[in-house]
Chains A and B, each alone.
Chain A
Amino acid sequence: MRPRTSGLSLQAAVALLAAAVLGWPLIFRGPYPQHIMILILLNALLGTAWNILGGFAGQISLGQAIFFGAGAYTSTLLAQHAEISPWIGLVAGALVAIVIAIAIGGPCFRLSGHYFAIATIALGEIAAIAVTNWDYAGGAVGLFLPVEGTGLAQMKFDDKRGYHYVICALLVLALAVTVWLRGARAGYYWRAIREDQAAARSAGVPATRYKLLAISISAALTAMAGTFYAQYVLFIDPPSVLPLSLSIQICLVAVLGGAGTLLGPLLGAAVLVPLSAATSVLLGGSGRSLDLVVYGALIMVIAVFEPSGLVGLWRRISATVSRN
């Protein structure tokens, strides 16, 4: 009977967690804890999107900021120049990101192994420089969104609860897409490609087409996160939405949590974001950069002791608990 109970308790734990996340802004009224939870959900969304491409299809991308920036800039420019609702901007941003993803994937998927990752780094830097010198998009100065005019239709809220539920909805969408594709043909093809692309090809898997599918879905979800960010912070410039550090952080969230698992990116975000916030609150005011040292050291500790990510650690702990 043991497996059954543990299955039930897992379901119960997930339900409890979902309830806690949904109830969070009702329990914590201050903007700061609400902000931390929004950052966790945003990073979980970005990690989940990365995971489709990097975790399931095995194509390591270090250029996710391109898609994030595409989403942020598309919706903001549409809002500024044509007064188009950010919800339409959200979809438009996702479409733009898909076009960019296919343009990147077409040539770059010919590269194998680490070379694909290196190519995405280079493309990310090119995108940042291009936008910095693009006056229509605000160039280096960036784009301000007006603070007034709030409401669901404008995806802009006076308090953070609105943002909280929008990002929850986007994350649920990303998780649903992941669950669906994981069990569908695409999921099996991706795993085959990840394990051995040549073998997959010889077994009749149309590898390139399915890799393009993976990068497109990943890009679209990342772009939605970008639009959300722009609506949330109301100011975007290349260093905030197109930096290499963002691409690395996205990868870190998924890999640290456990690449190729559904819950990995969620766990990664739930650990990394509070860790970064706590170190900067406790040590950041000192002016000695101690917070970043501690943050980096903690990431190294996790990586060294549990290379398969926090999900691996979780499995080990629950295995030990159920054995006893």
Chain B
Amino acid sequence: MILLAVASEIVIGAVYPLSGNLAKVGTDIKDAVELAAEIVNDDVDLPVPLGKGKGLPGVGGARVRVVFADHQSSPEKGLSEAERLITQEHVVALIGSYNSNVTATASQAAERLKIPFLNETSTSPLLTARGFKWFFRTTPTDDEFSDNFFKFLKTRKGVKRVALMYENTLFGSDVSRFEKRYAEKYGYEVVADVAYDAKSTNLTSEIQRLKSASPEVLLQTSYTSDAILSTKTMKDLDFRPQAILAMDAGHVASEFVPALGKDAEGIISREVWALGLGAKKPIVARVNDLFRKRTQASRGAPVDMDGTSARAFVGFLVLCEAINRAGSTEPEKIRAALEATNISAEALIMPWQGVKFDPKTHQNALGSGILVQIQDGKYVVVYPFELAQAEVRWPLAAWK
């Protein structure tokens, strides 16, 4: 009879943008989370947390089940969907939500209803600054990434003038504030500061402004469709700085290179992850193979993992690892287990030193970023130099 008291299935809620202009990103994340759940539930010979053995041994071998909800990039929907998952679907923990402003409200619901919320893909530093008790974040923040950018720029001689271009919601404008701060700290002149609407269908005047400021380096923060549109517009208007340093998101989405082909060459982006890490970490290639198989089955064409899906994959495993250690589906025990998380670098497909949450902010203290450059249609790790696969190509080639 004691066995009956142990949950045979653990339900985890996942709130993501599954429709609208971020649907593609959301679908990538969904596949990654489902893959992670499959690895937890089946006996897979991988050195990731819970790879070997079926289910969660700490919770009587219970399987995990993920219930997805679509927040349509709306903070209000994020809040209500989080509430619905907690109260109607009885999820023991939540994971999500990509858009920083939706993560803000969805995690509020979790905080109020006392359910752990693991955030793996939102990088706004404000989120962990709130000091929530139930909120945990595995990914490094924009603050750390911006610092990364400038540390890299310092290694290039003769760069003085930088321009900023960013989408004008929480994500982009937050990033721009850090970039401005670090530009000042590291002694660069900001010659243009261009905010724009990510849903915009025309970016001509924005690119025109950048061009007339003639920066040496452009720091860009965009979502997917606007990243593609802005690159095309730069070509049309013949705007070509020495380098474009992009802030992840759209510039590393899986359709960015296919949509632009040669025009994407040479763009540098910060990343938390790249396929190229496989050179140093064989586990990366193995997980990616599984992801390709999964997307082949679900969409008819294989898709490679990217920084977003990799982070979602790892985030979900971190959450399951904590639930397993908690040995219970009680939220308070899961929360305590998350606080005690200490995963080493070897068990991750990330370039991080591991996962360990800061006791006060619950921000992963061991995260760090990398820079990748699109070389011959592939994202190649170029920084930090000890993880690099190839030399940086600098400057960008002229438009043809």
Number of residues in B with C-beta < 8 Å to the partner?
41
* B56 CB to nearest chain A CB (Å): 23
Q: Could you say which residues of chain B place their CB within 8 Å of the CB of A39?
A: 80
Please, what's the 1-or-0 string for A124-135, where 1 marks a CB less than 8 Å from any CB in chain B? 000001001100
Known: A132-B168, A140-B169, A141-B173. A280 touches B88 (CB 8 A): no
At the interface, yes or no: A147 with Cβ under 8 Å from chain B? yes
Main secondary structure of the interface of A (DSSP, over half): helix
| Listed residue (A39, A140, A144) with the most chain B CB atoms within 10 angstroms of its CB | A140
Q: Which of A101-109, A174-182, A194-202, A287-295 contacts B (4 or more CB under 8 A)?
A: A287-295
The answer to whether A233 and B75 touch across the interface, beta carbons within 8 angstroms, is yes
The answer to whether B105 and A289 touch across the interface, beta carbons within 8 angstroms, is no
* B295 CB to nearest chain A CB (Å): 12
The answer to whether A147 and B79 touch across the interface, beta carbons within 8 angstroms, is no
Q: Could you say which residues of chain B place their CB within 8 Å of the CB of A291?
A: 19, 70
* A205 CB to nearest chain B CB (Å): 40
* B294 CB to nearest chain A CB (Å): 13
Q: Could you say which residues of chain A place their CB within 8 Å of the CB of B174?
A: 141
At the interface, yes or no: A322 with Cβ under 8 Å from chain B? no
* A280 CB to nearest chain B CB (Å): 6
At the interface, yes or no: A13 with Cβ under 8 Å from chain B? no
Partner of B170, one of A142, A233, A281, A292: A142
Partner of A32, one of B77, B87, B197: B87
The answer to whether A233 and B76 touch across the interface, beta carbons within 8 angstroms, is yes
At the interface, yes or no: B101 with Cβ under 8 Å from chain A? yes
At the interface, yes or no: B23 with Cβ under 8 Å from chain A? yes
Partner of B74, one of A133, A144, A240: A240
The answer to whether B168 and A32 touch across the interface, beta carbons within 8 angstroms, is no
At the interface, yes or no: B326 with Cβ under 8 Å from chain A? no
Q: Could you say which residues of chain A place their CB within 8 Å of the CB of B18?
A: 284-289
The answer to whether B108 and A239 touch across the interface, beta carbons within 8 angstroms, is no
At the interface, yes or no: A172 with Cβ under 8 Å from chain B? no
* A237 CB to nearest chain B CB (Å): 6
At the interface, yes or no: B27 with Cβ under 8 Å from chain A? yes
* B18 CB to nearest chain A CB (Å): 4
CA distance A238 to B101 in the complex (A): 11
CA distance A39 to B77 in the complex (A): 11
CA distance A284 to B130 in the complex (A): 30
Partner of B101, one of A129, A133, A235, A289: A235
The answer to whether B101 and A30 touch across the interface, beta carbons within 8 angstroms, is no
Ranked 5 nearest A-B pairs via Cβ: A284-B70, A289-B19, A285-B68, A140-B173, A287-B18
- Besides A240-B74, A280-B69, 15 new A-B residue pairs in contact (Cβ under 8 A), listed by A number: A132-B168, A141-B174, A142-B104, A147-B111, A235-B104, A238-B169, A239-B74, A239-B101, A239-B169, A280-B77, A286-B18, A287-B27, A287-B68, A287-B70, A291-B19
